Amino acid sequence: MIVRNITLLVVWVAMWGELNVANVASGVLMIAALSVLFPTDDRRARLAHRVHPLGVLRFGGRLFVDLVVSSWNVAMAVVVPNADRIHTEVFDVALTTTSPLVAVVVSNSITLTPGTMTVDIIETDRGFALRVHALGRAEPVSFREQILELERRVVAAATPVGIPADGARAAIEHNVEPPRDGSAS
Amino acid sequence: MSTVVDIATAALFLIGAALAVIAGVGLHRLGDTRSRMHAATKPATLGVLCCAVGAALQSDSSALVTKLLLAMALQLVTAPVGAHMLARSITRRDEQHPPTTS
Amino acid sequence: MIGTSQVALALLILAAVFTVARAVRPSSSTGDRAVALDMATSVIQCGLFVGAVILGDGILVDIALVLGLLGFLTSVTVARFLERADR
Amino acid sequence: MTALVLAHFVVAVVVLAFTRARPVIGAVIGCVLFATTAVTIAILGIGVDQQRVETWRWIDDLGLQMAFRLDGFAVMMVLIVSVIGALVLAYSIAYFDHDETFVLFVGLFVAFAGSMTGLVLSSDLFTMFVFWELTSVWSFLLIGLNDRSAQARTAALRALLVTGGGGLCLLAGVALFQVLAGTSSFAELAADPPVGTTATVAAILVLVGAFTKSAQFPFHFWLPGAMAAPTPVSAYLHSATMVKAGIVLMARMSPIFGDLDVWRWMVVLSGGTTMILGGVRAMRQVDAKLLLAFSTVSQLGFLTMLVGLGVPGATYAGVAHLVAHAVFKAGLFLGVGVVDHATGTRDIRKLNGLWREMPMVTALMCLAGASMAGLIPLFGFATKEKALVALLDADVGFVGWVALGFVTVGSVLSAAYTVRLLRGLFATKPTTRDSAQEHMAHLHHAPGWLLVGPMASFAVASLAAGLAAGVVGGWLVAAGTSLDLDVASKLALWPGINTALGISVAVVAVGAVVGWRVPVTEPPHHPAVSGERIFQRTFDGLIEGSKRITVVTQSGSLLAYLAVVMSVVAAVLGVAIFTDPGAGFGELVVADSPVQLAVSVVAIVFAFAVVLARDRFVSALLIGGVGFGCAVIFAMFGAPDLALTQVLVETLSIVVFLLVLRQMPRRFAADPTWAPQAIRIAISTAVGVSVAAFAVMVSGARSAPSVGEVYGELSLPEAGGNNIVNVILVDFRGVDTLGEITVLAVAALGVTNLVRMALRNRKPVEDTDSETAQPDRADDAGSADRSSAGGRRP
Amino acid sequence: MSASLVVLIAVLFGTGTYLLMHRTLTRIVLGVAMLGNGVNVLILATGGRQGEPPIVGREGATDPVPQALVLTAIVIGFAVVAFLLALAWRNWTISGNDAVEDDVEDRLIARAGADGERRSDVHHHEDVDL
Amino acid sequence: MNALLAIPLAVPLVGAAISIIVRRLTVQRVVSFIALATSLAASIAIVATVVIDDSIAVTRLGGWPAPVAITLVADRLSALLLVVAVAMVSLVLAFAIGQRAADERSPFYHPVYLVLCAGIAQAFLAGDLFNLFVAFELLLMASYVLLTLEGTDSQIRSGTTYVVLNVVESTVLLTAIGLIFAATGTVSMADLPARLAELPDGVRSGLNLLLLVAFGIKAAVFPLFFWLPDAYPTAPSSVTAVFAGLLTKVGVYAMLRTETLLFPGGHSTLLLWIAGATMIIGVLGAISHSEMKRILSFHIVSQIGYMVMGIGLGGEAALAATVFYLLHHIPVKTSLFLVQGIIERDTGSTFFRDVGGLARRSGPLAVLFLLPALSLAGLPPFSGFLAKYGLVRAGFDGQSYVIVGVALLASLLTLVSMTKIWTGVFWGDVHPAADAERRGLLRRYPLMSGSAVVLVGGTLAIAALAGPLYAYCVGAGAQLVDPSVYIEAVLRP
Amino acid sequence: MSRRSVILDEADRWLFPVIVMVSVYVTFRGHNAPGGGFAGGLITGCAFVLRFLAGNDLRIRRSVIARPDRLIGAGMLLAVATALSPVLLGDSLLESNIWKLQVPLIGEVKVVSSAIFDLGVYFLVIGVVLAILLALGTDPSEPVLEREAT
Ligand code: NA
Ligand code: NA
C-alpha cells in the first residue's frame, strides 16, 4: 500500500507540476479519500513488495534499451521483411514468481521487448505461465531463459515478501482469508 | 545550448514520426493480426516517448516537464495492457475456432 | 525547428494514413481495426506533442496525457467483447 | 329573459342529477318551468311599450355579445316553444312510461327548450348562432336516445353533420358581418345594411345555414331520418320548434336582404322544390310518422318561401302559418304517437278501420289534418289564404309568380297527403291480399288521458284559432311589426270571394282526389337519387378516402418519415441557396492547415467506411475513428476543451456501443428494400451538399462582431477564470450547462429504467417480492447491490 | 472558411442521413452519432476562425462561444446515443432483433384501406453470423 | 423579479434531484407536489406582474449585462403559457397518481416528470435561442423516458420512432441555431432581430426555413407530423395527456416567437399552406381510425394547423386569436386524454370494438367527454368556438378566405371524428366483456376523475371568462406584433 | 479458462486511482485551462469502465452514493443549489461569487462559486457513466430474450 500511495502522491504532484505544501497536502487528502471510497479490500492487497530503487532504475534502463531494440527489429521486419523476420511462433513460459504484480510487470515488459508479446497469462497451481507470441525466429531454450532473466530483474526491483505462493493464489481465487504469516505493508 | 536542444528535439521528433510511419506500414506488411500488433505496440510507443521527450526539451516550465514525464510513464504502463488484452482475445478465439481459411 | 516539426507532422500524417487504411480495409478483422484505432491514439499523441511545440501551447499536452491514459480502454473493450461476440 | 334561459339549463342539470329514480317528477318540474316561462314572457312582452333588452358583453375585442330582445315575434316564438313544450312533455310522461331513457329525455328536452328560447329571443346574429348550434347538439343526443339502434345513431349523426355544416356557413356569415359592419346585431345591420359582393356572400352563407336547419332542399334529407327519435322528440324538435329556427333566422334577415335577387331566387327555388319534393315523398310513405316528416319538409318549404321573400304581406302570412303549422303538426305527431302506442305500429298498411276503435282520436286527428289541408274554418285555411293573397299581391316580378306556382302545386300535395294520412290511419280499406290480414294491427289498450289530452289541445287550438282568425291575426301584427314589417291586412276567417279563394278551393278538391286515389298499400318507394343516399355516399367516401390518404401520409414506417423529413431539410436549404448564394463561396480556402486537410480526409474516409461496414462491432469502431478525427480538428482549431471532451465522449461511446452490440449478431441483416438505394443516396447527397453549401453561404454573411469578445473581456476580472470556454459553461451560460447535465441525468435514468423493466419481465417471481413491493422502492441499497455486486463480468 | 471542413461537413451530414434511413436501429444510432459530429464541426467551422485557444491573455484567440455551444451539444449527443442504444438493447431483448418495425395500427389501416394492394407486413430477422 | 422567473425552472429541478436520491414514493409525491405548487404560485405571480406592470418581465441570469447573459423573459404570451402548462402538469400528476400505474412502477417517474416540467417552463421563458434548444432537449429527453417508462413492446416500437424523429429534429434545430450564430455572432433573441435584418435575403430565408422545419417537426405540422400519431397512443394516458397538451404547443410557441420576433413577415403564405394541409390531413387521419387515443392524437395535428394559421395570418388580431387558441387547446386536449385514461383504466382498451355504451354506464363521464369534445370541434359556447371564431374573423379581416374555408371544413370534419368516438365508445351496446353492472365509474377513480373534472371545469371557465382572457391575449398579440417592446425590455441596461 | 485477466486486475489496481486523480486535476483546473467538471467526470467514468472491464466491483463504499442514481441526484442537487442560492439572497440565478480564503501554509486560495457548480457536474457525470455501465453491463450470458425470434 505504501508503495502505491507514494506512487500516487508522486503522480499527483507531477501533474500539478510543482512541489509545494498545497499540492502535497491536497495529494494526501486525495489519496486518503480514494482509500476510503475505494478500499482495495481484495486479499491481494496484503501482498507486499519491497522496492529497491536501484533495481528499479536498472530495470527501467534495460526496458528502454529493449524497447529501442525491439522497435528496430520490427522496423526491419517491416521495411526489409524476410522469412525469418516475419516468422511467428507461440511459446508457453512458466514463471517462478507467485506475485501477480511481478507477473504483470514481466508480461508488460515482454510486450515491449524485442520480438515478443504476451498474449495470455495463465494461472496454474504452481504460479503464472505466460503465453508469448514471438515475431522472428527464436530458439525455445534461450527464449525461455531470456524471459526468466527478465523476471529476475523485476524481482530485483520489487521483491515480493512474506506470502507463500499457494496461499496467495488461493486467496485470490477463492476469496478466503490467507494465512497470516507475513507482514502486510 | 539552445541550438543543441533544438537539434535534439528535431531529431527526436523525426525519429518519433518515422517510428510511427514504420508502425503504420507494419500494420499492412505483417502477416497476421498478432504480428501487426508488434508493430502497433513497440515502435508506436517508442515514437510517443520520443515526441514527448522532444517536447519536454523545448518546454520552459518544470510543470510541463513533469507532466510530460507522467505522460510517458502512463504510456509505458497502458500501451502493453491494451495490446495484451487484444492479443489474448485473438489467441483465445483462434484456439476455440481455428481459422479455416487464409 | 518549426520546419522540422512540420516535417515530423507530415510524417505523422503519413502514419495516420496507413493506420486509417488498416482500419477501413475491408479485409481487416475486427482485431486489426482495434489495433489500428489503438495505434491511431498513439499517432495523435505524437501529433499533440509536436503540435505543442509548434503552437507553443502546453494545453495540448494535457490532452495527450489523457489520451495516453485512456486510449487503451477502447482496445480492452473490444478485446473483452470480441471473444463472446464471435462465439 | 337571460334568467329564464339559464333556468332551463339549471333545471336540466337538476333533472339529470336528482330525478333518476323518479323521472316523472323531473317531467313535472319541466312542465312547470315551461308554464312559468310562457306566463312570464307574456307578462313581460305583451302590450308593453318598451321592449325589454338584455345584453351581456362576452368578448369585447371580437364584438361578441349575448343580446336578447323581447319583441312581438320573440314573444310569439317563446310562447310556441314553451306551450308546445309543456304539452309535449306532459304527453311524454305517458309515452315513455317506464323507459330507462326517460330521465335523459326530460333533461335533454328541457335543455333544448332553453336553447330554443334563447335562440328566438336573440337580437344578435351571433347570439342566435350560439343557441343555434346548441339546439343541433341536443337534437343529436335526442335522436340518438335509443343509442342501441344503428338506425338511430346514423340518423342522429346525419342530422348533426348537416345542421353543423350549415352552422359553419352561418358562422362564416356572422364573422363576415362582424368584419364588414362591425356588428352582428339585427337592428344595427338593418339600420345600416352592408353592401357589396362580400355582404351578399355573407347573406348567402347565412341563408344556407338557415336552409340546413329548416331542412330545405338540398339539405332536406336529414329530417325524415330524424324520425328515428321518439315521437315527442319528433313532434317538438323536428316539427314544431327546432326546424323553425331557420325560418326565424330568415324572418329576421329577409327584411334586410330580401330585396337581393340572389336571396329571393334561392329562397323561392329551394323552398319551392322542398315543398313539392316533400309533398311527393309524403305520398309514397306508409309509415305515418315518416309521412308526417315529409309533410313537415313540404310545409317548411312553404314557410321558407313566405318568410324569405322579403315581401311584408308574405312574411306576415309566413309568421301566421308558422304558428298554424306548429300547432297542427304537433297535434298530428302526437296523434300518430297515440296510435303507435295503442296498436304497436304506425304502418298504414297494417291499420284498418281504426276509427271504430278510437273515434275520439280520429276526430281530433281530422281536425288537425283539416288545418294542414287548409280547410275552412281551421286556422290553416286562414294562414294559407293569407299567403296566397300576399303572393298574388307581391310586386316582385317573375320570382313572385314562380313562388305562387310552387305554393299552388304544393298545396294540392298538402291536401293529398293529409287525406292519405287520415285514410291510412283510420279508414276501413279494402284489403287486397289475404296474407296482409293476419298482420293487421289492433288496439292493444286504450290511450290514457295524458296521451290524448295534449293532442286534443292542439287539435282544438287549430279550430279555435281558425274561428278566431281575426283576433289571432291581430295578436300576430305585433310579431310582424317587430320584424320591421308594414302589415297592411290582417288574417281573416272569411276573406271574401277572390282569386285566392278560388285557388284554395281547387287545390283542396284536386288534392283530396289525389290523396284518395293513391293506394296506401304500396311498399315505400326509395328514389334512385336522394339526398340521403348522396349524403351516405359522401360520408362513406369520406371515411374511405380518409383511410386512403392516411395510408399515404401515415405509413407507420420510420424510414419513410425520415426520408420525408430529410428531403424537406434539403429542399428548404436548396431554395435558400438558389435564392441568393451570397459571398461565402468566394472566401473559401482549401484548408486552414495541411493537418486539417489530412485529418478531414481521414474523418471522411472513416465516415464512408461506417456506411460500408457490414459488421456491428466494426461500424462502432469506425465511428469512433470519425470522432477522434473530429477531436483532432477541434484541437487544431483552437478548441482544446472540445478536443478533450470529444476524446472522452468518443471513448465512452465506443464502450457503450460495444456493451450493447456484443449481444447482437455481428453482421447487419440485409436491409429490406424500402426504396431504391438510389433514392436513399439522392436524399443523403442532397442533405449533405445543401447543408454544407448553406454553411458556406452563412459563414460569409457575418456582419457584426461575436458576443464572444465580451465574454473574453469579462472572464477573468468578473468571473475569475482564465479559460473563457469553461467560464462560459459554468457562469455566463451556466443555465445551459444545468440543462445539459440534467439531460444527461435523465438519459441515465432512462437507460437504467429500460434495463430494470427488462429484468423485471425476465424474473417475474423475484420481481413480486422485491421490485414492486413498497419497501424495496425505499432507500435500501438492495437493488443496487443485486445489480452491481459480483456479477458484473463482461 | 476552410473547404476541407466544408467537405467534411457535407460527408458527415450525407452519411449520417444515409445511415438514418435504415431499418436496423444500430445503423440509425450510427447515423445519429454521425450527424452529431457533423453539427459540431459545422458550428465550430462556421462560428469563427481558427486561432489560439480562448484563454485569457492569448492573442488571436478563436471565438469561445461556438466552443461552448458545441460542448453542450456533445454532451447532449452522448446522452441521446446512450439512450438510443438502450432502446436498441431493449428492442433486442423483446424481439430478438433491432429492426424498427412499422406501426401496427397504421398498417392495419393500410390493409383496410387498400386490401391486397400492398404487401403484408414483412418481419425482418437478422441472419446470425458464425 | 429575479427569483420569480427562476423558480419555475429551478425548483422542479431541485425536486427532481431530491426524488432521484430518495425513492420512497410518499416522499417523491410530496416533493413533486411542493415543487409544482411553488412553480404554479410563481407562474401566477409572473402573470400578475406582467399584467399589473403592463411590461415584460426579464431576468438576466448570473447578473451579467443583457447580451452576455442568458435572459429569462416573460411577456404576456410566455407568462400565460407558463401558468397553463404548470397547472396542466400539476393536474395530470394528480391524475397519474390516481391511475396507480406510472409512479408506482418506476421510481424514476417523478424526477423525470419534474424535469419535463422544468424543460417546458424553460422553453417558454428562454430569451436565448440556444437556451431554448437546451430546454427542448430537456423536455425531449424527459419525454423519451416517460414514453418508454414501462418498456413494453409497443412502447419501445413507437418510442423508437418518436425518439429518432425528435433527435433528427434536435439536429436540425441545432444546425439552425449554430448557423444563426455563424451569421450574426449572437444567440440572444433580443440581440438577434437587428443583426438578422442585415443579412442577405437568401441567408435569412434559409435560416428561417430551417428553424421552421425544426419547430414544425416538434409542433407536428404537415408534412412533418407523422411521429405524433404513432407515438402518443402507446404511452400511459397520464403521459400522453401531458404530451398532447403541451409538447407540440412548445413547438408552436417557438414558431410563434421566432416568426414574430426574429423573422417578422417571412413566409406567411407558406405557413398558410402548411396550416391548411395540417388541418385537413390531420383530421382525415382522425376520421380513418377506430381507436380513441389515435383519433385524439390525430386531432392534435389538425388543431396545430389552426395555430399555424394564426401565425401565418400575422397581425395583432390573428396572433391574439392564436394565443387564445393555445390557451384553450392545452386544457381541452389534456382533459380529453384524461377521460380516455379513465376509460382505459376501467375497460382496458379504447378500441371501438372493445368498448361501447359508456354513456349508459356513466352519464357524468359522458358529459366529461362531451364538453371538451364539443369545444375541440369548435361548437359554441365553448372555448374552442371562441378561439376558432377569433381566427376566422382575423382571416376575414386579412381577406384570406381560402384558409378560413379550409379551417371551417376541418372543423366540420373534426365534428365527424368526435361523433365517431361518441358513437363508438359512448353509444351502442355495452361490450359483452365489460361489466355492464359496474356503474359509478367516476366514483371508483376519485383522483383521476377529480383532476378531469377540475380540468373540464377550467375549460368552461375559459369560455365564461373569455372577455378578460381575450383582452389579455390581445395584449399578447400586440406585444408580438411589435418586437421592439421585447427587445427594449431585454436589452435595457 | 478464466475470463478474468491478471493484467487487467493489476492495471485496475494501479491505474484506477491514477485516473481518478487525473480527473480531479482536470476538474479543478478547468476554470483556467481545458477541463472542468464534465471532462473530469468522464475521466472518472473511464476509470469505472476499466474497473468494469476487469470484472471488478463497481461499488463506491459509502452508502450515500452507493447507487449511481444517488450520485446523479447529489451532483444535480449540488449544481442546482449552487445556481439557486443567490436567488435566496435576492440576486439572480447563477450569480457567481468569488471568495478569497487564507489557508495556513498554503496562502491565499481563490474559491469561485461556479467551481462548486462544476463539482456538481463532476459528480453527476460520474453517476451517469456508472448508471449506464451498470445497466447495459448486464451479463449477456444470462439470456434476456423475452420471446425467441421466430
Ligand atoms: Na402502436
Ligand atoms: Na363500440
**Tens of pLDDT, residues E32-82:** 999 999 999 999 999 988 888 888 888 888 999 999 999 999 999 999 999
Residue G17 preceded by cis peptide, ω within 30? no
- Residue with C-alpha cell 517462478? A96
| Per-residue pLDDT, F66 | 78
| Per-residue pLDDT, B87 | 87
Identify the nearest ligand to the CA of F294 by its number: 1
Subunits close to F (at least 3 CB pairs below 8 A):
D, E, G
Q: What percent of chain D has pLDDT over 70?
A: 92
Instruction: Give the mean pLDDT of E86-107.
Output: 82
CA distances from D114 to D34, D479, D700, G142 (A): 9, 21, 68, 70
Asked if the C-beta of G132 comes within 8 angstroms of chain D's C-beta atoms, the answer is yes
- The answer to whether residue D120 scores a pLDDT higher than 60 is yes
- The answer to whether residue F288 scores a pLDDT higher than 70 is yes
Distance CA D581, CA C34 (A): 43
Distance CA D369, CA D416 (A): 11
What's the ipTM?
0.93
- The answer to whether residue B44 scores a pLDDT higher than 90 is no
Judged by average pLDDT, the poorest of A73-87, D34-48, F477-491 is A73-87
Cβ A108–B90 below 8 Å, yes or no? Answer: no
Q: What percent of chain A has pLDDT over 70?
A: 82
Of D606, D617, D655, the CB nearest to C30: D617
- F159: alpha, beta or left? (left if phi > 0; alpha if psi -120 to 50): alpha
Subunits close to E (at least 3 CB pairs below 8 A):
C, D, F, G
Closest residue in G to F18 (Cα) is G73
Mutate to test the interface with D, among C20, C30, C46 (most CBs of D within 10 A): C20
Which backbone phi and psi does D653 adopt, to 5 degrees? -60, -45
Instruction: Give the mean pLDDT of F98-106.
Output: 77
Q: What percent of chain F has pLDDT over 70?
A: 97
Cβ B78–G15 below 8 Å, yes or no? Answer: yes
Contact partners, residue D397, CB within 8 Å, separation at least 6 = none
- The answer to whether residue A132 scores a pLDDT higher than 80 is yes
β-pair partners for F213 = none
Distance CA D298, CA D279 (A): 5
Distance CA C71, CA C63 (A): 11
CA neighbor of B53 nearest in space, from B37, B75, B77, B38: B75
Collect all residues of chain G within an 8 Å Cβ-Cβ radius of residue F111: 73
- The answer to whether residue A161 scores a pLDDT higher than 70 is yes
Return the top range by mean pLDDT from B21-35, B38-52, F166-180.
F166-180
Asked if the C-beta of E110 comes within 8 angstroms of chain F's C-beta atoms, the answer is no
**Per-residue pLDDT tens over the stretch C66-83:** 988 898 998 898 888 876
Grade residue A18 by pLDDT with cuts at 50, 70 and 90: confident
Query: Between F18 and A157, where is the model more confident?
Result: F18
Closest residue in F to D172 (Cα) is F392
Of D640, D644, D790, the CB nearest to G57: D790
Collect all residues of chain E within an 8 Å Cβ-Cβ radius of residue G32: 55
| Per-residue pLDDT, F454 | 95
Give the DSSP H/E element, type plus range, for residue F206. helix F201-219
Q: Are D160 and D213 in contact (CB under 8 A)?
A: no
DSSP string covering D633-683: HHHHHT-HHHHHHHHHHHHHHHHHHHHHHTTS-SBPPPPP-SS-HHHHHHH
Cβ C9–D644 below 8 Å, yes or no? Answer: no
Instruction: Give the ranges where D258-358 is alpha helix by DSSP (H).
Output: 261-282, 288-308, 312-343, 354-357
Residue F425 C-alpha to ligand 2 middle, in angstroms? Answer: 5
Instruction: Tell me how long chain A is.
Output: 185
Mean pLDDT of chain D: 87
Distance CA E120, CA F4 (A): 56
| Per-residue pLDDT, D607 | 96
Instruction: Give the mean pLDDT of G89-116.
Output: 77
Of D609, D617, D635, the CB nearest to C24: D609
Subunits close to C (at least 3 CB pairs below 8 A):
B, D, E, G
C-alpha cell at F351: 378500441
Mutate to test the interface with D, among G99, G138, G145 (most CBs of D within 10 A): G138
Of C70, C80, C84, the CB nearest to G53: C80
**Per-residue pLDDT tens over the stretch D432-442:** 554 444 456 66
- The answer to whether residue G146 scores a pLDDT higher than 50 is no
Judged by average pLDDT, the poorest of F9-23, F50-64, F435-449 is F435-449
- The answer to whether residue F183 scores a pLDDT higher than 70 is yes
Distance CA F289, CA G150 (A): 30
| Per-residue pLDDT, D674 | 57
Identify the nearest ligand to the CA of E107 by its number: 1
Residue D218 preceded by cis peptide, ω within 30? yes
Query: Between E17 and D663, where is the model more confident?
Result: E17
Asked if the C-beta of E68 comes within 8 angstroms of chain G's C-beta atoms, the answer is no
Cβ D641–G36 below 8 Å, yes or no? Answer: yes
Cβ D658–C77 below 8 Å, yes or no? Answer: yes
C-alpha cell at D335: 296523434
Grade residue E114 by pLDDT with cuts at 50, 70 and 90: very low
Instruction: Give the mean pLDDT of G80-108.
Output: 79
DSSP string covering F264-282: TT-SHHHHHHHHHHHHHHH
Burial class (CB in 10 A: 0-12, 13-18, 19+), D432: exposed
Grade residue D490 by pLDDT with cuts at 50, 70 and 90: confident
Contact partners, residue E50, CB within 8 Å, separation at least 6 = D592, D593, D596, D636, D637, D638, E2, E62
Q: Count D/E contacts: CB-CB distance under 8 Å.
A: 339
Instruction: Give the mean pLDDT of F281-309.
Output: 94
- The answer to whether residue F380 scores a pLDDT higher than 60 is yes
- Residue with C-alpha cell 476580472? D717
- The answer to whether residue D244 scores a pLDDT higher than 70 is yes
Grade residue G76 by pLDDT with cuts at 50, 70 and 90: very high
CA neighbor of B15 nearest in space, from C40, A72, C71: A72
Distance CA D94, CA D230 (A): 12
Instruction: Give the mean pLDDT of D570-597.
Output: 87
Judged by average pLDDT, the poorest of A32-41, D55-64, F343-352 is A32-41
Judged by average pLDDT, the poorest of A109-123, D128-142, G42-56, G101-115 is G101-115
**Per-residue pLDDT tens over the stretch F192-207:** 999 999 999 889 999 9
| Per-residue pLDDT, A121 | 85
**Per-residue pLDDT tens over the stretch F353-376:** 888 888 888 889 999 999 999 999
Collect all residues of chain B within an 8 Å Cβ-Cβ radius of residue G1: 92
- The answer to whether residue D772 scores a pLDDT higher than 80 is no
**Per-residue pLDDT tens over the stretch C29-48:** 888 888 898 899 999 999 99
What is the b/e burial string over G63-79, where b = at least 16 CB atoms within 10 angstroms of the residue's CB?
eebbbbbbbbbbbbbbb
Instruction: Tell me how long chain D is.
Output: 794
pTM above 0.90, yes or no: yes
Distance CA C46, CA C39 (A): 11
- The answer to whether residue D779 scores a pLDDT higher than 80 is no
**Per-residue pLDDT tens over the stretch D517-526:** 888 766 666 6
CA neighbor of F122 nearest in space, from F174, F194, F59: F59
- The answer to whether residue F165 scores a pLDDT higher than 90 is yes
Distance CA D87, CA D456 (A): 10
Cβ C62–G15 below 8 Å, yes or no? Answer: no
Distance CA D411, CA D433 (A): 33
| Per-residue pLDDT, C62 | 87
